[in-house]
Chains A and B, each alone.
Chain A
Amino acid sequence: MAKMTMVDALNTALRQEMEKDDTVVVLGEDVAVDGGVFRVTDGLLEAFGEERVMDTPLAEAGIVGTSIGMAISGLRPVCEIQFSGFSYLAFEQLEAHAARMRWRTRGAYTVPMVLRTPYSGGVRALEHHSESREAYWAHTPGLKMVIPSAPRNARALLVSAIRDPDPVVFYEPKAIYRAFREEVPEDEETWPLGKARVVREGGDITLISYGAMMRPTLEAADKLEDEDGVEAEVIDILTISPLDHETFAESVKKTGRVVIVHEAPRSFGPGAEIIARLVEKSFWYLEAPIRRVTGYDVVIPLFAYEKAYLPSADRVLRAARETLEVQA
């Protein structure tokens, strides 16, 4: 076991998969010599050479489009889009081709690729560097959408994503790239895609979140216990699509009360789908209206007001208390 940041953990996942499987290649802007602007791919060029670690021309559609071709040829490309705010240039390739090639050819050609990209706010960046648009990819049938929340699960999920037979969009919460360290096993570890995890057990209320928002959510859960004597169950979704509704449906049977936390804009966000599933499947267990603590339906402000936009532990706490006050 070694204590790692998320950046180290992701680097470990890439390095170990590349050692194990020489069809795994890495490509993107500044990923080779520079090791990625966040250093996630640091040292891979030296270890695996320029045929497997490619600094591409600066063109997002080109990166994703060529990755699709590589994947069809039998490689397992892991491409990086430097910031998720620049992935829209590749939207066409993901929506029209990566997501559909298996379906279109009835299984003859498949696209086992991973698109890694940093998302989320909180790093005092320029415009286009802070947004959370996971709903775009989760809405596209044929793609998988994964968001880790800590070093250990980031490593284990990235390994699973690389080995997955379908295209995976892998959002990395850059706000916590280096925010804390966690024990990560030396030996290979995989976590299944499409499976949420209960990270804290409790019977009074269910808090559902993912990615960088897990930290304020867990902080709120601690405060609920310390200040209110309330036992919150906290669920980390981990895979936005395919969404695992079983795990939160089970939890709601116990608690009857739910708060969903994400920094993506509220309307049509992942929270909306979670609520829809709960209403469809767990309606009779609900004891209070489900609340959402989310980003607002605005462009995430430049960093002077960024904090005001992002959900905080206090916002989660207030929403949880209001939910707990409702008498069925």
Chain B
Amino acid sequence: MPREVVDLPYQVEYLSILDQDGRVLDEDLEPDIPEDRLLRIHRTMLTARRFDERMLQLQRQGRIGTFAPVKGQEAAQLGIVAALRDSDWMVPSFREQAASLWRGQSMESFLLVYGGFYQGNELPEDTRNLPVAVPVGTQPLHAVGLSYGIRYQGSDDLVVTFFGDGATSEGEVHEAMNFAGVWQTPTIFVCQNNQYAISVPRTHQTQSKTLAQKALAYGVPGLMVDGNDVLAVYAAAEEAAERARSGEGPTMIECVTYRLTMHTTADDPSRYRDEEEVEKWERREPISRFQAYLKNRDLLSDEEIDEVEEEIQAQIQAAIDDAEARMEELEGESLTMFDHMYAEMPPYLQEQRDAFQAERQAQGEEEGSHG
């Protein structure tokens, strides 16, 4: 036959398990998640949401700087990391507070970083989270190299990396999926398609019908899930993790979700989208759907939700108090900017550090004499 359809190994499937009211659509698809983990997912979703709200207040009060809120994307993050091991690695972009909280990162560390202190990136030694990557789409390549490296060293852990819909226009995301496909690395690419790259809607980012299909070009399976349905996200992550650990290579998961608030605190979404659209997505909001599911299963009551809310508020307040005390302590520690540029400080940098120190001393004495 001179002209025929080429048979490709994969097609894009769309997976959803919970409906808008938290009812299970197909029990065969429902992942088997231990009850304590379900409750921990719920608590972490709620923590991420409330922490977001408090950080926004702090930012508006000038107590911290710019950050990217997670509101609306809690399920897309927690469904993934809850299905993985602690010993797996996570390579985030800059909006993964929910996933990071699950993986042991403290609220205090975020407050420090967004308060302008790099000391917040001093992660605990056993953490396998890379720090926030600000340049869009540049970090999935690290995940591929990392997964190559850990496999080479005999581990069956895997690496998950997060990026957004806008990042799928960046060449490096494609290079990452291509390398992962060629090397068959244990990598999970999670695209949180939250519909906007700042102001540019998903439809202007690419003519592709789905983002998941981008992976197909690299011989990597791509799956689309309802990203506001934490069970669907979990099920997809389990499937991808099994593939990775059994040596069958990478997977891309497109979590279809929605950023319910601004891109960052410096953004005004009313310039590019209307309230009606936001309200439509509010009705598919991930936390209330999951709460309805847990209530249907008698795993959670309204009273228990209130208790959890109260505990979370106390934790957040404690984290803020600690972080602000720490920031005060660190206020004068600008000399640390010279640390960690190299394993060993080169002589010229030592000279600059000495000069900086002398200048600060002179300035301090001058100010002292006027005071």
Contact = CB atoms under 8 A, between A and B. Distances in A.
Interface of A: 25, 51, 54, 56-57, 59, 61-62, 64-75, 77, 92-93, 96-97, 102-110, 141-142, 144, 164-166, 194, 242-243, 245-246, 277
B178 interface: yes
Interface of B: 91, 118-119, 121-123, 125, 127, 130-131, 133, 135, 138-139, 141-150, 152-153, 159, 171-172, 175-176, 178-179, 182-183, 339-343, 346-349
B123 A65 contact: no
B182 A57 contact: yes
Contact of B148 (A57, A69, A102): A69
A102 B342 contact: yes
Nearest to A165: B343
Contacts of A106: 118-119, 121-122, 339-340
A92 B146 contact: no
A61 B172 contact: yes
A53 to B, nearest CB: 12
B176 A62 contact: yes
Residue in B122, B133, B145 whose Cβ sees the most chain A Cβ within 10 Å? B145
Contact of B138 (A51, A74, A93, A243): A93
B308 to A, nearest CB: 32
Given A65-B172, A74-B149, A106-B121, 4 more contacts: A62-B141, A65-B145, A69-B149, A93-B141
A107 B152 contact: no
B10 to A, nearest CB: 19
A105 B123 contact: yes
B217 to A, nearest CB: 13
A121 B342 CA distance: 31
A69 B347 contact: no
A242 B127 CA distance: 31
Contact of B175 (A57, A69, A165): A57
Contacts of B178: 57, 59, 62
A142 B345 CA distance: 10
A294 to B, nearest CB: 22
A250 to B, nearest CB: 14
A75 B149 contact: yes
A69 B118 contact: no
A66 B179 contact: yes
A168 to B, nearest CB: 11
Contacts of A69: 91, 141-149, 159
A73 B339 CA distance: 22
The 3 closest A-B pairs by CB, nearest first: A69-B145, A65-B141, A73-B149
B27 to A, nearest CB: 39
A242 B349 contact: yes
Contacts of B159: 69
Contacts of B347: 242, 246
A66 B342 contact: no
A106 B339 CA distance: 8
30 contacts: A54-B183, A56-B182, A57-B179, A59-B175, A59-B179, A62-B172, A65-B142, A65-B175, A66-B176, A66-B179, A69-B142, A69-B143, A69-B146, A70-B149, A71-B149, A72-B130, A72-B145, A73-B149, A75-B153, A102-B340, A103-B340, A106-B121, A107-B339, A107-B340, A108-B125, A108-B127, A164-B343, A165-B343, A242-B349, A245-B348
